[in-house]
């Protein structure tokens, strides 16, 4: 992708989430009005990591830290969460959540995941409704795959356009997700196909679960 176009896309995403950071959690809950059970989907995604006490987990595009409590219940105080996000304002909200819960095992990093990956090997990688917005999706997938320990799981929870009957109604779905930086351009790029291809090529025991009549999905697999 053209470097200038990629940077413009990143600026756009940062701008949108800068504005929405303080209200992000509340807005996400409102999606339940449409039958989109985000919390339940996040819980299923975290379960797919198959973590244990003491594990270290990276969350790409951690946002306000909505997944942190789910992960903490499993890894305990001996584990560690590394949250990476491109938007400072979202991380400020995540930091508030960390302080309110007195978590001492969370490291927050403000960075573009395409340009940064932790140096340490990790026991699990998860991302929720985040990396599909990146213009450098393949770079992110490869960089984080490289730090995943053998036998550990990589999990993506994200949006897509279904290839079934319900896909005909994407014109109704787009206005709902546009406030979160999902544009016609993103949809035309079909980032979910890039993610699926990467998983099928590089990971084992790949499993994909369709959610919300195919407009969301969880894909998981482990590194051999």
Q: What is the pLDDT of residues 161-220, one digit of tens each?
A: 998 887 788 777 777 766 665 777 788 899 999 999 999 999 999 999 999 999 999 999
Q: What is the pLDDT of residue 179?
A: 62
- Looking at residue 198, what is its pLDDT? 99
Q: Which residues contact 98 (CB under 8 A, 6 or more apart)?
A: 65, 68, 106, 108
pLDDT of residue 26: 80
Give the pLDDT of residue 180.
Answer: 61
Yes or no: say if 139 and 114 are a contact pair by the CB < 8 Å rule. yes
Position 1 scores a pLDDT of 59
Return d(Cα 204, Cα 10) in angstroms, integer: 31
Strand ranges, E, within 10-165: 56-60, 80-85, 106-110, 122-128, 148-159
What is the pLDDT, as a whole number, of residue 12?
A: 76
Interatomic CA distance for residues 162 and 210, integer angstroms? 9
Q: How does pLDDT run across 50-109, given as a tens digit for each residue?
A: 999 999 999 999 999 999 999 999 999 999 999 999 999 999 999 999 999 999 999 999
Q: How many CB atoms lie within 10 A of CB 16?
A: 18
Q: Is 202 left (phi over 0), alpha (psi -120 to 50) or beta?
A: alpha
Residue 105: what pLDDT? 99
Q: Is the pLDDT confidence value at 222 over 90? A: yes
More confident residue, 25 or 76: 76
Please, are residues 88 and 110 in contact by the beta-carbon 8 Å criterion?
A: yes
Domains contained in the chain, CATH given: 3-222 (3.40.50.150)
**Is the pLDDT confidence value at 5 over 70?**
no
In terms of Cβ atoms closer than 10 Å to its own Cβ (0-12, 13-18, 19+), residue 201 is exposed
| pLDDT digits 0-9 by tens, 126-140 | 999 999 999 999 999
pLDDT at res. 183:
77
Q: How far apart (Å, rounded) are the C-alpha atoms in residues 84 and 213? A: 30
Q: How far apart are CA 122 and CA 145, in angstroms?
A: 10
């Amino acid at each position: 992708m053209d470097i200038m176009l990629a940077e413009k896309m990143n600026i756009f995403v940062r701008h949108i989430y800068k504005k929405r950071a303080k209200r992000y959690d509340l807005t996400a809950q409102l999606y339940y009005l449409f039958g989109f059970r985000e919390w339940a989907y996040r819980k299923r995604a975290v379960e797919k990591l198959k973590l244990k006490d003491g594990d270290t987990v990276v969350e790409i595009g951690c946002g306000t830290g909505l997944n942190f409590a789910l992960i903490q219940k499993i890894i305990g105080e001996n584990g560690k969460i590394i949250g990476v996000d491109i938007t400072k304002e979202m991380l400020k909200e995540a930091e508030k959540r960390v302080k309110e819960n007195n978590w001492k095992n969370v490291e927050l990093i403000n960075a573009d995941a395409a340009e940064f990956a932790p140096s340490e090997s990790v026991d699990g990688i998860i991302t929720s409704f985040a990396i599909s917005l990146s213009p450098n999706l393949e770079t992110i997938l490869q960089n984080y795959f490289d730090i995943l320990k053998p036998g550990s799981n990589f999990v993506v929870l994200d949006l897509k356009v279904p290839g079934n009957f319900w896909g005909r109604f994407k014109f109704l779905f787009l206005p709902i997700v546009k406030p979160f930086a999902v544009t016609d351009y993103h949809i035309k790029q079909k980032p979910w196909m890039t993610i699926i291809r990467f998983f099928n090529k590089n990971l084992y025991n790949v499993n994909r679960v369709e959610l919300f009549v195919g407009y969301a999905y969880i894909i998981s697999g482990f590194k051999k």
